[in-house]
Amino acid sequence: WIATTTQDGKIYFYNQSTKESQWQLPAQPKPVLHQSVSLDDSDGEETLASPGSCDAIDSTASSPPASGSPCSPSHLEPLKAAEIVRQGPLMRTFSSKDGKKQRKNWTTMHIHYHVMHNASFPSGSRSLLVFTKGADDKINYYKCEMFDLYPPCELELDTDHIKSRQSNVIVLRNGHNSELLLRSSEKSVIDEWIADFAKDISITVRKEDALDPGERENKKGRKSSDRWRRDVSVDNLSVEQKSIRTKLMGFIKRRPTADALVKKGIYQDAVFGNRIKELCSQEKTTIPLFVLRCINAIERTEDNLKADGLYRISGNAAQIQKIRFEVAKSNYQVLLEEKDVNNLTGALKLFFRELKEPLLSFNAYDTFTKWSHATRREDRHCELLLRAVEELPKENFHTLKVLLEHLIRVCEYSVDNRMNFMNLAIVFGPCLLWPETSTGRDLMTAAMVHNSVVEALLTHFDTCVAPRKG
């Protein structure tokens, strides 16, 4: 009878002759004697083999233990008989166990490197790494953690920091698709461990110099151009392949351009990231449908307008993107289904921020900035602002007028939402106005100018915006 274990660590007994297995060891009428050879004396001596002794274990009777798991009782005697080639403290972590990726968690452990010279462990390997917390800790082979150097096993020094950003890292891979990382702050310590591992015949040491350039590039995460290069010469194609190529080239050349598809109405740009004039032309309106319906959804209830920090508080980014994608499919019902007003205001701000040309268009930008530097005399002040508003395209003006009317209604509830004209201007300044080419200088000054323009449009709406009819 042989003592072995199941995959979950339970001990059972297996009879090699009768192929029986039992949970309890049957009573033995007589002890079984077998002859073993001592390492120190060549003369044979008869010793008693206990029913659960690892000396009598067949390597086929139990499956090898998983890497990083508690040692099986069947490994007890072989580990005691193995030589400890090296031991010492190292930082260790597992990047994968049995093919499953693991989260790296570096821990300082005392590592014992066990090697069997004239035999092998039941798993078929000749060496193991056993981990304990301290150098003086007594190794408990029933609970210890280990890494089985099961062949084929590879060792590599992570010089390119592919596996870890740390320095002096050893990468060990075994035949169970497990990967162990070892490191030390001192390179000399790592070199000593590598030298001992290199003497192990079951470990293949991979050196950086042995890698070809393409393999080194792929190891760094970059596809080698040589690896993906293909011979695309027409001369190497068969007659059938040449015929297919000719037909495909003809089809590609006959394809209409994107501009032609837009003119025919077959292809339309998305709602977000478009131009106001082009979007209104597609929808045959003077104000984008999204702006109208989003404002209506925000003003649907008085509680929405009273929401604290309206337009100042950001919504949920994922939900705002969902609104964006649904609107791109002309599903405006998503605006009415949205219950968080901050998501609606966030989507409206995103719409204006992602326009290819700002709502206060590029052709009127210089006039708006000149107004900000002009004299503060009331009549002259409003005259320049009205001139800038009149320079806006028709679609931009109508959209601006609707937006400003909405923001004025928001400000009427400033006692509850704490959003006055100045606060609203700070929010919408970067969304409605920016230069066609930015030099990167005086960004703070430019932002203040943009905010002051929006605040003036809100403050002087009746005299500077409302008078324009179309």
The residue among 210, 231, 213, 235 whose CA lies nearest residue 222 is: 213
Q: Rounded to an integer, what is the distance from CA 92 to the centroid of its chain?
A: 24
Distance CA 260, CA 263 (A): 5
pLDDT digits (tens, 9 = 90+) for 200-241: 877 888 765 444 445 544 544 444 444 444 445 666 778 888
- Asked if residue 428 and residue 298 are part of one domain, the reply reads yes
Alpha helices per DSSP H over 201-316: 213-219, 225-228, 239-254, 258-264, 276-283, 289-298, 302-305
Which range of 130-139, 238-247, 435-444 scores highest in mean pLDDT? It is 238-247
- Please report whether residue 178 resides in a domain: yes
Clarify whether residues 211 and 150 are in a common domain. Answer: yes
Mark whether 303 and 423 lie in a shared domain. Answer: yes
Q: Check whether residue 256 and residue 284 sit in a common domain.
A: no
d(CA 341, CA 303): 9
Three-state DSSP class for residue 367: helix
Residues 120 and 145 in one domain: yes
Same domain, 180 and 305: no
Asked whether the predicted pLDDT for residue 48 surpasses 50, the reply is no
Position 99 pLDDT exceeds 80:
yes
Do 283 and 406 fall into the same domain? Answer: yes
User: What is the number of alpha carbons within 13 Å of residue 467 lying toward its C-beta?
Assistant: 13
How many whole angstroms separate alpha carbon 248 and alpha carbon 254? Answer: 10
Residues 263 and 280 reside in one and the same domain? no
Residue 207: its pLDDT value, please?
64
When divided into structural domains, the chain yields a total of 4
Domain that holds residue 248: 238-267
| Residue 229 within a domain | no
Kindly state the percentage of the chain with pLDDT values over 90. 31
Task: Give the model's pLDDT for residue 72.
Answer: 44
Contact between 373 and 379 under an 8 Å Cβ cutoff? The reply is no
Going by C-alpha positions, the residue among 46, 47, 56 that lies closest to residue 25 is 56
- Is 227 within the bounds of a domain? no
183-198: per-residue pLDDT in tens?
A: 988 888 888 988 888 8
Give me the pLDDT at residue 394, please. 93
Domain membership of residue 149 (yes or no) is yes
Instruction: Specify the pLDDT at position 71.
Output: 46
Residue 143's pLDDT is 66
User: Does the residue 233 lie in any domain?
Assistant: no
Tell me, what CATH number does 119's domain have? 2.30.29.30
Whether residue 67 lies inside any domain: the answer is no
Q: Say if residue 143 is in the same domain as residue 249.
A: no
Q: 370-397 burial, b for 16+ CB within 10 Å, e for fewer?
A: ebbeeeeeeeebbebbbebbebbbebbb
Selected residue with higher pLDDT from 223 and 453: 453
Domain presence at residue 182: yes
Shared-domain flag, residues 183 and 263? no
Flag whether 148 is in a domain.
yes
The neighbour count for residue 464, using CB atoms within 10 Å, is 24
Three-state DSSP at 424 gives helix
Average pLDDT for 325-344: 93
Tens-digit pLDDT profile for residues 267-320: 566 789 899 998 998 889 999 999 999 999 999 999 999 999 999 999 999 999
Q: Specify the pLDDT at position 78.
A: 58
State the Cα–Cα distance between residues 146 and 135, nearest whole angstrom: 15
Model pTM?
0.47
Question: For 261-276, b where at least 16 C-beta lie within 10 A, e where not — what string?
Answer: ebeeeeeeeebbebbb
Kindly report the CATH number assigned to the domain that includes residue 388: 1.10.555.10
In the sheet that 21-22 helps form, which strands lie side by side, from edge to edge? 2-5, 11-14, 21-22
Question: Is residue 253 domain-shared with residue 341, that is, in the same domain?
Answer: no
What CA–CA distance (Å, rounded) separates 404 from 427?
13
The CA distances from residue 208 to 151, 172, 182, 189, 380, in Å, are 21, 15, 18, 19, 75
Residues 262 and 285 in one domain: no
Cα Rg, the chain, nearest whole Å: 38
Nearest to 404 by CA among 340, 332, 364, 462: 462
For 36, the token pair is 């073993």
Is the distance from CB of 403 to CB of 431 less than 8 angstroms?
Answer: no
Contact 397, 389 (CB under 8 A): yes
pLDDT, the chain, mean: 78
Please name the residues in contact with 6: beta carbons below 8 A apart, sequence gap of 6 or more: 12
User: What single letter denotes the amino acid at residue 60?
Assistant: T
Band of the pLDDT at 30, cuts 50, 70, 90? very low
The mean pLDDT of 337-364, rounded to a whole number, is 94
